[in-house]
Structure 1
Amino acid sequence: MFFSIIIPLYNRPQEIDELLATLCVQTYTQFEVVVIEDGSSLTAKEIVNSYADKLDIKYFFKPNGGQGFARNYGFERAKGDYFVIFDSDCLIPHDYLETVKDYLFDHHLDAYGGPDAAHESFTPVQKAISYGMTSVFTTGGIRGNEKHVGQFHPRSFNMGVSRAVWEKVGGFILTRLGEDIEYSIRIHQHGFKIGLIPGAKVFHKRRTSMFQFYKQIHFFGRARINIYKHFPSELKLVHFFPAVFTLGVIALLVLNVFYPPLAYFGNIFLLVYFMLIFFHSLVLNKSLKVAFLSIISSFIQLTAYGLGFIQDFFKRIVLKKQ
């Protein structure tokens, strides 16, 4: 099996350098790398070319169109049996491709997704953000997990599709706002088999500050409504949970100001919830600082998603604006 690794890139030369370094030590070597610079002003051409003697690598520059269409550009130029999509802010374990190859030979999948985790080199903030996006105490915990409501939808930071999928389904038709979920739904609709490869883990850096993380997750909340506009049946009760949590927090703040006795049980609930997050993160990360920051990242994960969801639910569904 020959893999084509597709990496869209926008103004992140340092990240692609670190990612390509991890690909140089893969135990399975039957792969090429296709880097698509999506209209960057800060290009990585020299960095990518510096790996020409270490990797089978191609570099392309195109006008900015967004990550979904940049991936399509890479698909069109790839020669692999299977296309593997990574975000530029990922680090890849040395046995990743071997794990995927072995799994695909034993279990037929036309498309797959894998989980993400924090690398030991990540900053405390990055580790806390990773916790917020993978914890069982947030809706981030349903990602990278087949055991949740509805179909499994791979996420494009760690996703693979066969050439057969590309030839029959085509590529991304959205470039942002839930483009990977929309693509997964169409793959399902064409009768292809999608599954999780539990061992195909990547280390995903995500954002370097809580403010950047907030903006990203707010965008994800809006993206869920965008998916609903394409596929109404894909809006599940679980997707409303962050919005309900956010409205509950707002109501609790109002009660604490104007009628504190009614806020008593809500305050106790939040305190217990934050304590569970703190000790769970402490066990996983073995760091008091990361455990404390995990409370903040988990709170942001729910409220930022909830606010984005509420914003576009009201605008695009209630007011019916495009």
Structure 2
Amino acid sequence: MLFSIIIPLYNRPQEIKELLETLTLQTYKQFEVLVIEDGSKLDAADIVKSFEGELDLRYFTKPNEGQGFTRNYGFERAKGDYFIIFDSDCLIPADYLEIVNRSLQTNWLDMYGGPDAAHPSFTAIQRAISYSMTSPFTTGGIRGSKKNMGGQFHPRSFNMGVSRKVWETVGGFIITRSGEDIEYSIRIHTAGFKIGLIPEAIVYHKRRTDFLQFYKQAHFFGRARINIYKFFPDTLKAVHFFPALFTLFLVFVLIANVLQWPVAHLCNILLGVYILLIFFHSLGKNKSLKIAFLSIATAFIQLTAYGLGFMQDFWKRVILKKS
């Protein structure tokens, strides 16, 4: 099977260098790489060119349209039997393609998704962010799990694969950002194709490098969930309201403590238990006191940022019905 790896790129030349370096180490060799520069001002032409002798590599430039339509651009030019999408801030284990190929041979999937994890080279903040995005004590527990509390499993586009038949039948992305990967997987599922998780197909996803960048990203994710709801109202599940409810609970706890309401003591205990759960779970996974403490901060940032973004667009687009 020939895989076509499609990587949208926007102003991140250093990231693509690290990603391409990991692709040169793949144990499965039947693949091509398409790097599509999406209107970048900081292009990676020289960096990509330096890999020409090591990879079957093609480099394209186009006006800025966002990652969804840039992936479509790659689909249109791909030669492979199966298309794989990575974000440019991912590092790929050497046996990734071998794992995917073996899994598809034994249990065919028309579309698959894989989990993400923290690489040992990541900073403490990056590893804490990775924890909060994969933890069962945040919304991260919904992603990369066979038992998806949010309903049908929806692969995320930082680590996603689709067969050529899917592309030829369903087409590509119809929105370019803001939940475009979930919208795409819902259409693929509706068309009758088989979608699933390949648990061993892990990538190391860098995400953001500081708290402010992570807050902005999580806030955008909260807004994206409402964007998906506008396309598919029945996909909005009770679990998607958890970050908003958590955010409102924090506001209530603050007010209760300031006004010295009797219920404040119980709220503080509940919040303390939750903090301890995050701390000790992260400590067990990361074996680091520093990362465990940082994980408390990143978990709260993720939930409150997502919750505020969710509430913002729920009020604007669902209650007030603004476009």
Q: TM-score, normalised by structure 1?
A: 0.99
SS of equivalent residue, structure 2 residue 269? helix
Q: Which consecutive aligned stretches of 4+ in structure 1 deviate over 6 angstroms post-superposition?
A: none
Alignment partner, residue 320 of structure 1: 321
Q: CA deviation at 1:49?
A: 0.6
Instruction: Supply the distance in 2 between the matched residues of 1:139 and 1:95 (Cα, whole angstroms).
Output: 28
Q: CA deviation at 1:7?
A: 0.2
Alignment partner, residue 169 of structure 2: 168
Q: CA deviation at 1:258?
A: 1.2
Instruction: Supply the distance in 2 between the matched residues of 1:207 and 1:141 (Cα, whole angstroms).
Output: 19
Alignment partner, residue 9 of structure 2: 9
Alignment partner, residue 286 of structure 1: 287
Aligned pairs for 1:231-270 within 5 A: 231-270=232-271
Q: What is the Cα-based RMSD across aligned positions, in Å?
A: 0.6
Q: CA deviation at 1:276?
A: 1.1
SS of equivalent residue, structure 2 residue 85? strand
Q: Deviations over 1:81-122 (max 9, x none)?
A: 000000000000000000000000000100000000000000
Q: CA deviation at 1:261?
A: 2.6
Alignment partner, residue 96 of structure 1: 96
Amino acid corresponding to residue 116 of structure 2 in structure 1: D
Alignment partner, residue 68 of structure 2: 68
SS of equivalent residue, structure 2 residue 208? coil
Aligned pairs for 1:201-216 within 5 A: 201-216=202-217
Q: CA deviation at 1:42?
A: 0.2
Q: CA deviation at 1:255?
A: 1.0
Instruction: Supply the distance in 1 between the matched residues of 2:277 and 2:300 (Cα, whole angstroms).
Output: 13
Alignment partner, residue 108 of structure 1: 108
Q: CA deviation at 1:262?
A: 2.0
Q: Deviations over 1:42-89 (max 9, x none)?
A: 000110010000000000000000000000000000000000000000
SS of equivalent residue, structure 1 residue 261? coil
Instruction: Supply the distance in 2 between the matched residues of 1:314 and 1:140 (Cα, whole angstroms).
Output: 24
Alignment partner, residue 80 of structure 2: 80
SS of equivalent residue, structure 2 residue 263? helix
Amino acid corresponding to residue 295 of structure 2 in structure 1: S
Q: CA deviation at 1:141?
A: 1.3
Instruction: Supply the distance in 2 between the matched residues of 1:19 and 1:56 (Cα, whole angstroms).
Output: 14
Amino acid corresponding to residue 262 of structure 2 in structure 1: P
Instruction: Supply the distance in 2 between the matched residues of 1:237 and 1:30 (Cα, whole angstroms).
Output: 43
Does structure 2 conserve the Cα–Cα contact (< 8 Å) formed by 1:7 and 1:86? yes
Amino acid corresponding to residue 242 of structure 2 in structure 1: F
Q: CA deviation at 1:260?
A: 4.1
Overall identity of the aligned pairs, in %? 72
Instruction: Supply the distance in 2 between the matched residues of 1:131 and 1:269 (Cα, whole angstroms).
Output: 21
Instruction: Supply the distance in 2 between the matched residues of 1:148 and 1:41 (Cα, whole angstroms).
Output: 39
Alignment partner, residue 226 of structure 2: 225
Structure 2 segments unaligned to the other structure (5+ residues) = none
Alignment partner, residue 133 of structure 1: 133
Amino acid corresponding to residue 91 of structure 1 in structure 2: L
Q: CA deviation at 1:148?
A: 1.6
For structure 1, which segment, 192-201 or 140-149, has the greater mean C-alpha deviation from structure 2 after superposition? 140-149
Amino acid corresponding to residue 258 of structure 1 in structure 2: L
Amino acid corresponding to residue 93 of structure 1 in structure 2: P
Q: TM-score, normalised by structure 2?
A: 0.99
Instruction: Supply the distance in 2 between the matched residues of 1:213 and 1:263 (Cα, whole angstroms).
Output: 30
Instruction: Supply the distance in 2 between the matched residues of 1:251 and 1:316 (Cα, whole angstroms).
Output: 25
SS of equivalent residue, structure 1 residue 58? strand
SS of equivalent residue, structure 1 residue 246? helix
Structure 1 segments unaligned to the other structure (5+ residues) = none
Instruction: Supply the distance in 2 between the matched residues of 1:155 and 1:66 (Cα, whole angstroms).
Output: 16
Does structure 2 conserve the Cα–Cα contact (< 8 Å) formed by 1:133 and 1:140? yes
Does structure 2 conserve the Cα–Cα contact (< 8 Å) formed by 1:140 and 1:301? no
Does structure 2 conserve the Cα–Cα contact (< 8 Å) formed by 1:96 and 1:200? yes
Q: CA deviation at 1:12?
A: 0.3
